[in-house]
């Protein structure tokens, strides 16, 4: 089966910022992304688990976008304008997709 | 003094406080006891609806007087002013940065609705009436403190912007909408409406509050276990002193307004409590560089348990003694 090269951008960000990030991505022309809940983790601000949090202040979510390589800079620029000052991780990996016309 | 101690002892041995203590103890002992996230959310929705509805019914029964507007105004002023007091105390008592101090201060101007709900339950058990519109005062005191904190930061030359989304999130957060909405439903339907649903909003109230506080105890205990290292002795002392200082401002406002004993006690509770839902969320957006481990642990792990166990009986006793009830 033929596959096509693409970039997978994973943005782990505070839940409170998710709607702002989604808006920025849509404005930047990103046509699709997936938001996943994060159950817990550990970082510079210490360990946490979702079950131990109250409210949305300290929970995290992960936003996953798969885009063509030529669109990745625009995406990262839009995402960074939102996440720059906040807790989170942005990573980019190469991936392969089956239906290139969808990305 | 004897009255205060008796009230404190009765409060400490109530099922509500003991449920909270069980949650804290279980979390500190690393038990796997937990309340499912969706169940905790449902419990909080029930409590907010019930307290808002009963407040509205009380206003419909007793009518509106001029004090309502003045009490709302006093609540807004207290919420805006208490962060200045907290900020001053933090500067004296701790070595927190200006940013962290302002973020902490915002929490102490805003309110904890769970502390308010627990206080109304204590007042009901003691047969002390309070103005029904104190529910609306609680809602009005959520947001002004956030503006004060941002103003404190901007005075240091670090201007912060409040975007429209943040305004909407603060003013229309689910808790406020439900509390105020239920208040208006109770106001509109009055005693007849209450009679229709009293078996749902009155009888199970304390049992539901017990379960909710069990969950709050678990959350507070986990926070203390995991993040207590973030608090220096000075910050810890602030978390115990500030509620007492805040309650004195509430006491003064309540007495000046001529509120009932229950109304004065609730004004003290509102002024003494610290937010751990609305303000942390606003601070993460507006002041992301401020350390959440400090302000969350302080408001939820220190001030909330203090108010729940010792603060509420203390405030009720003071209000009772000074209003001559």
Q: Given this model, what pLDDT does residue B211 score?
A: 93
In B, minimum Cα distance to A23 occurs at B165
The tokens describing B241, both together, are 């002193």
B239-242 — which CB contacts under 8 Å span 24+ positions? B239/B298, B239/B299, B239/B302, B239/B303, B239/B306, B240/B302, B240/B303, B240/B306, B241/B89, B241/B93, B242/B85, B242/B86, B242/B89, B242/B108, B242/B274, B242/B303
For chain B, list the domains and their CATH numbers: 15-20+35-323 (1.20.1530)
Closest CA to A13 of A94, A92, A85: A85
The SS3 of residue B158 is: coil
Q: How far is Cα of residue B299 from the mean position of the Cα atoms in its chain?
A: 10
Q: What is the pLDDT along chain A (103 residues), one digit of tens a residue?
A: 888 999 999 999 988 889 889 999 999 888 889 999 898 888 776 677 776 666 655 688 999 999 998 889 999 998 888 888 888 889 999 999 898 777 7
Shortest CB distance from B277 goes to which of A19, A51, A55?
A: A55
Please, which residues bridge with residue A88 across strands?
A13
pTM of the model: 0.83
Q: Does B296 touch chain A (CB under 8 A)?
A: yes
Pairwise CA distance, residues B227 & B241, whole Å: 20
Q: Does B107 touch chain A (CB under 8 A)?
A: no
Q: How far is Cα of residue B306 from the mean position of the Cα atoms in its chain?
A: 12
Pairwise CA distance, residues A81 & B119, whole Å: 43
Q: Given this model, what pLDDT does residue B158 score?
A: 64
Pairwise CA distance, residues A23 & B125, whole Å: 49
For chain A, list the domains and their CATH numbers: 4-102 (3.30.70.120)
Per the listing, tokens 């449902």 go with B42
DSSP string, B223-253: HHHHHGGG--HHHHHHHHHHHHHHHHHHHHH
pLDDT in tens, B271-324: 999 998 788 888 888 888 888 888 988 998 899 999 998 999 999 999 998 887
Q: How far is Cα of residue B50 from the mean position of the Cα atoms in its chain?
A: 16
Cβ–Cβ of B292/A55 closer than 8 Å? no
Cβ–Cβ of A52/B280 closer than 8 Å? no
Q: Count other Cβ atoms within 10 Å, centred on residue B29.
A: 10
In B, minimum Cα distance to A17 occurs at B285
Contacting residues of B for A52, CB less than 8 Å apart: 218-219, 222-223, 226
Answer positive or negative: Cα dihedral of B254, B64, B182, A59.
negative
Q: Consecutive 10-residue runs of chain B (325 residues): their mean pLDDT?
A: 71 86 92 86 90 89 83 95 96 93 95 92 89 90 89 73 73 84 93 93 91 89 75 93 97 95 96 89 85 87 92 92 80
């Amino acid at each position: 089966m033929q596959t096509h090269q693409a970039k997978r951008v994973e943005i782990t960000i505070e839940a409170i910022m998710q709607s702002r990030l989604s808006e920025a991505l849509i404005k930047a022309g990103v046509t699709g992304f997936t938001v996943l809940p994060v159950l817990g983790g550990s970082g510079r601000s210490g360990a946490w688990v979702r079950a131990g949090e109250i409210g949305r202040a300290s929970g995290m979510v992960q936003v996953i976008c798969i885009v063509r390589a030529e669109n990745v800079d625009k995406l990262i620029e839009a995402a960074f304008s939102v996440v720059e000052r906040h807790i989170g991780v942005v990573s980019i990996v190469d991936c392969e997709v089956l239906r290139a016309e969808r990305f | 003094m004897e009255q205060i101690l008796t009230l404190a002892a009765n409060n400490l041995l109530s099922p509500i406080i003991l449920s909270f203590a069980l949650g804290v103890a279980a979390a500190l002992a690393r038990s796997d006891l937990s309340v499912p996230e969706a169940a905790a959310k449902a419990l909080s929705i029930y409590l907010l609806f019930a307290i808002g509805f009963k407040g509205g019914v009380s206003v419909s029964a007793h009518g509106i007087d001029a004090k309502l507007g003045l009490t709302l105004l006093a609540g807004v002023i207290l919420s805006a002013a208490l962060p200045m007091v907290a900020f001053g105390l933090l500067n004296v008592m701790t070595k927190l940065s200006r940013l962290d101090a302002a973020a902490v201060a915002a929490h102490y101007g805003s309110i904890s609705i769970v502390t308010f709900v627990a206080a109304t339950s204590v007042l009901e058990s003691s047969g002390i009436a309070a103005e029904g519109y104190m529910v609306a005062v609680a809602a009005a005191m959520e947001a002004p403190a956030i503006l004060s904190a941002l103003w404190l930061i901007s005075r240091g030359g670090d201007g912060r912007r409040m975007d429209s989304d943040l305004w909407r999130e603060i003013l229309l957060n689910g808790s406020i909408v439900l509390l105020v909405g239920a208040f208006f439903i109770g106001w509109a339907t009055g005693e007849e409406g209450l009679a229709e649903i009293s078996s749902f909003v009155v009888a199970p109230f304390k049992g539901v509050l017990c379960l909710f506080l069990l969950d709050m105890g678990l959350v507070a205990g986990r926070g203390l276990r995991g993040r207590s290292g973030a608090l220096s002795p000075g910050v810890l002392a602030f978390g115990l002193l500030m509620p007492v200082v805040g309650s004195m401002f509430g006491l003064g406002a309540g007495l000046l307004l001529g509120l009932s004993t229950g109304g004065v006690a609730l004004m003290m509770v509102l002024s003494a409590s610290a937010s751990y839902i609305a303000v942390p969320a606003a601070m993460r957006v507006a002041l992301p560089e401020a350390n959440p481990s400090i302000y969350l642990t302080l408001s939820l792990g220190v001030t909330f348990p203090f108010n729940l166990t010792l603060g509420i009986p203390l405030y009720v006793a003071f209000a009772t003694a000074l209003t001559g009830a």
